Structure 1
């Protein structure tokens, strides 16, 4: 198997479980040295230890704290000597409210702090290093929810929509420095923030008649992290089985 990330160094936030874990494991499989970054120390350490000390290291981080994110970057460079790939994947869902009138402002602030502000912080600190060292790849996790207004999860949707716009604004500025910035918008992926099982409804919801997985998203992240996407920046990639297109169309066979 070709090692698409051989010699690269990657940081993946929110990588103790779910999409982040699938991504950090796939990056390592493809030759990258990786930093598992997460607030969950127990699970994060387990992921890094399973990958091996020569390949992976764990760093506890709250992405909404710029000092902790800067320390994460410093740790990565001290440990592995470089930073080629930054995957801002950490996120929280926030509380579920049935009405905007009931939304809690403290919860709103917390979700924005992690999902949008935290992504901004990760992008900026990583980009400062990448600009000085000839380029790199930044990947952000948004969500299909950002494209579909509605309740519940108003705050989550708003924050993830902000991540999409942030990605494209940054990509436009950093392209001249060889820094690519792209965004993944997962659909319903069984992971830590999934609230209910919709597998039985998939055929009515999306054209591709299968349940997506964390590995589907990780494969997309691998492409965006690697040189296969050397001419790709500022894009938002839905990984949703076509849910963003609307319900599938069934056409009767012609006689």
Structure 2
């Protein structure tokens, strides 16, 4: 059995990423997973990543890896650190994501902003999944887990939110392809479709007039604490190697 269990969390500077890092640091080591926990915290904001690390359980090995999750050179550098410094990778939580700050009618969208949403939400997960494959299939024991942050928008879009909806449908395709193509390497893939977690990005559903509904009206919607998502990541991380959760909705 390896002496360390290495987990990478993207978008770890705040919100769901920070909540997940804190929860995992308190959940592992455990009786069934006694290895020392290493958390690799990824994001663009160095100071916020360091603050996440400070809030994790004392004794957790924290690796702050600042960089842009949708830039291939940054992802290659971060995964190179993981491979060279720790020699293995057990879990990746692809959590980095954004939404357009100016959603609206599809025909009026700024295509530069549209492309940015697709790039961050899709390509960050693609790049970290690719890097994870290269490490996980070569290590002993072979395999690992990849968990993607999806959204209810992967199945039920919000009005005037095309870029985000497209990106989360693509994440579903990535999850299912990863699950299929990873089988021969003992790599599993899971997607957590999240509805209204209390984060800065999701706060629009309770601020001002609330969120637009399918009939064009606006309503304030109920929210759940981001810790619930973190606990779901922890549940998947705790499973034995012979079990997988392909998808789960939490709202």
Superposed pair shares fold, TM > 0.5: yes
* Counterpart Cα distance in 1 of 2:191 and 2:250: 11
Partner of 1:253: none
* Number of aligned residues: 226
Asked if residue 101 in structure 1 is aligned to residue 107 in structure 2, the reply is yes
Q: Tell me how far apart the structure 2 counterparts of residues 42 and 83 of structure 1 sit (CA, whole Å).
A: 24
Shift of 1:142: 0.9
Aligned pairs for 1:103-142 within 5 A: 103-133=109-139, 134-142=142-150
With over 3 angstroms needed to count, the CA separation of the structure-2 counterparts of 1:49 and 1:80, relative to structure 1, is farther
Q: Residue 74 of structure 1: CA displacement?
A: 1.5
Structure 2 residue 90 is the aligned partner of structure 1 residue 84: yes
Checking the alignment, whether the CA contact within 8 Å between 1:10 and 1:34 is kept in structure 2 is yes
Cα deviation for residue 175 of structure 1 reads 1.1
C-alpha separation in 2, matches of 1:218 and 1:187: 13
Deviation at 1:138, TM superposition (A): 0.5
Q: Is the 8 A contact 1:62 1:69 kept in 2?
A: yes
- Residue 8 of structure 1 aligns to a residue in which SS? strand
In the TM superposition, what is the alpha-carbon distance from 1:119 to its structure 2 partner? 0.8
The 2-side partners of 1:220 and 1:106 are apart by 34
The separation in 2 between residues aligned to 1:41 and 1:176, in whole angstroms, is: 37
Distance 2:80 2:95 in 1: 19
Return the structure number with greater helix share: 1
User: 8 Å contact 1:8–1:33 — kept in the other structure?
Assistant: yes
Aligned match for 2:52, one of 41, 47, 65: 47
- When the two structures are superposed, what TM-score results if normalisation uses the length of structure 2? 0.83
CA drift at 1:63? 1.1
- Alignment check: 8 A CA contact 1:22 1:215 kept: yes
The answer to whether the 8 A contact 1:138-1:225 is kept is no
Residue in 1 that maps onto 2:34: none
C-alpha distance in structure 2 between counterparts of 1:212 and 1:44, whole Å: 23
Q: Corresponding residue for 1:187?
A: 195
Tell me how far 1:210 sits from its aligned partner.
7.0
The aligned residue for residue 239 of structure 2 is 227
| Structure 1 residue 228 displacement after superposition | 4.5
Q: How far, CA to CA, are the matches of 1:217 and 1:150 in structure 2?
A: 20
How many angstroms does 1:42 deviate by? 1.2
**Long gaps (5+) in structure 2:** 30-36, 211-220
Gaps of 5+ in 1: 1-5, 202-208, 241-255
Q: 1:54 to 1:217 in 2, by over 3 A?
A: closer
> Pairwise CA RMSD of aligned residues?
2.2
**Distance in 2 (alpha carbons) for counterparts of 1:220 and 1:228:** 15
* 46-55 vs 183-192, which moves further: 46-55
SS of the residue aligned with 2:132? Answer: helix
